[in-house]
Every structure is written in C-alpha cells, then in structure tokens.
Structure 1
C-alpha cells in the first residue's frame, strides 16, 4: 500500500429496514479499488446503484458492514476507516478528508463570508487574512458580491453548492469526496468548478466523485468505477469509456 493513499477491500454496507419487517437491503457489496495521490476517480451508475453509499462509507457517515478501507495519513500511518474510533475519524475530517454533498448544512443567520472565514480561523489564520481569502474564494466561485454577507440558507441550490465547494478548497484536503459536484450549476460555473478541482488534483489531492454529467467527468477523472445494484461492474480508464 506504500504507493497508494486509499485501499478499499471488500467494502459492504447492509441496511435493516425495520418498517419492512426488518428486511435487509444491500447498499453496496464487495467493493474494492485503490487510489494513488493525485488520482481522480468518478463513480457512475443509475440511481439506487450504491454510489452515495460508497462515498458515505468512506467518510464514515455510514458505518460499513464489512471489508476494510485503509487510508494512509500525511505522517505515513495506515488507518482502517472501518474500525477507527470516532475521535480519530473526526480528526481526519478536520485535517485531511473532506466531503462535499449535494446539500449545504450551515448554522442559520451566518453569512457566506463568515462560513468560509471560520474554516480558516480554525486553521490559524488571523481575522483579516481569513476574510480577504474568503472574498477571493467567493469571487472565484462566481458568487455575487451582494450575497457575500447574506445567509446561504436563502441561496439557490447552485449557489449553495458553490459555497460547499469553496469550503473544500479552503481545507485543501488530501482526500476529497464529492457527491454530484456539478449538479445545479450553470455552464460557466461548471467551468470554474472544474478548474478548481483540477488545481487541487495537481497539488496531489486524491478525489472520488459521483457524476451523472458525463462531460464534466470527462474533463476531470482518470478512471471510472461503474456501479449496478450495489456491485462494481467495471473500472475503466476514462479514455476507454464511450
């Protein structure tokens, strides 16, 4: 595993649905792949095929039912994200692993610039520098200046998604997990997001993203992991995908 940052082996997640007489549903089953630093993998497949389950298991939003997820930290430690304790997972989320969902979860009555500046303040930036950097990111994400001091809870879906992505860019994580990063975005903003993600990739960030937008995926990913009914049907280099 020395040349990889992430090694997933036999990852499985089962859900017990109590209102359906404890019926067992398979979110994903026996999923395996490996990622190198700076590699970008897209996960494709129809709705309900298990794409989001994989991402949430990697981030430990879901506790996997089986398998292992070996992550190599910045200091060279190998940690199984399946069995790691909650405190260790929280530390990794703060310092090395980021997740961008389709939905923005923020504290009400906190402005867009405050959301970003707070992320920087937690990482040692002084108040003035944090605010200036937040303005730069909002400008880069094509957020209108009149919205910088407004509350993202009132933003459109596309604007909220851009705030989500700006937060990920602030942290410059070693592993970035994306759930439909280009959903709800206009073409110009998609180009901005694609450039930003490619810049992170070039800096060595390993990225795994769920996509329905094939054109965006072509611009970003090195390989495509295709899911059907919770299982991997193929892993191909992007150039092999028609």
Structure 2
C-alpha cells in the first residue's frame, strides 16, 4: 500500500506540481488549499506524512502543526517555508514540526527528507529495552521512563534520545547525529540539534533525570550517568 501524504499549500501551482511529482514516486497524495482545509483533512483521514506550507490563509502551517500536536497526532510533518531566518525555523520546530525545507527547494531534496521522515516513523521490531542509570527506553513501543515516570516525547526527540542511549558513553559528533536523525547535514550554523537537545534536557529534568546528556564542546553530545 502506498504512503499517504497530505500536501497543504495555498499556491495551487506548487500544490499540484508537488502532488504530481509525489504521485510519480508512488505516493498517494491529497491536497489542501489552506490551513483550515488541511486541519480538517488531517483530522478526518490517516496520513503517513504531512507537507505544510508555513504561510497559508486562515490558519498557517505553524497553527496546523500546533493543533495536531495538541490533539496527540504524531504524524511526521515537513514544513515548507520562504522564511530563512533562524528564529523562524526554530518557531517551526517549537510548533512540533519534524523538519523544514526553505523555498525554493529542489525536488530531490524534498523527496530525500520525506523518505527520512518515513523511515524514522516506521515501527521498530520488538527487541530488548535500553537502560541508562534509571532511564528505560523501549524502541519497539517507542516509550521512555525514568523510574515510574513516563516521558512524552515527539518522534524526533525519541529518535535522538534512543541514538544517544544506544551509544551511551560514546561522544557522537554533530555531523553523525544529523545524518542518523535527519538523514542529511544542515550545515555548521544550524541550531536544529541544539534546539532538540534543549527539549530533551528539559523533559528529562522535569522527570528527575538531570545530567544524562552531556555537551562535548566543539564535538557533539554523549549520554552517560553522573
């Protein structure tokens, strides 16, 4: 069965051309012309991924993303944006998007990012749980606990924590983490990784698990107890 993708963009030419390109790649595509339609469609039907333009009338892409995440909908979201400032990209991540792509974009890059999102969202085969201090990570169920407290993590947050815990005690450089989590490198000035590390640290600290993720200046990050 083909992956189902919702493409929401108020520019009809972009929406239809992107839809045709995705269909040629084997995806089943549904289009939406604004945020209200996108939100109603995403709530009514099941999709494997959403491609949302940030600047849409009525409800923008960020608003759609926030509402869906508040509903508990974890469908992977790729945000398209003409805004290239770091603050605007961080706003997309804060809204719950899994990735963003500045306009104008190359189709090959969009397809690669979409494939990466779908790979990361695929359920893992049942396997053993990962342990670090009193932290338990269940890759099969995609759940995390500190003692008896379960952490609520987004897909990207879980993927990042699982990667660090699987490699506990090993310093992972930023390029490796970007490649493993996002499927490509963002460049030396990207703040994506730092933003998600910050999210994880806050959620771990709120559960009582402070100090598990360590920054190795100039290199990357590692997970270790103490």
Output the TM-score relative to the length of structure 1: 0.29
Output the TM-score relative to the length of structure 2: 0.30
Where is the strand percentage greater, Structure 1 or Structure 2? 1
Higher relative contact order (CA 8 A, sep 6+): 1
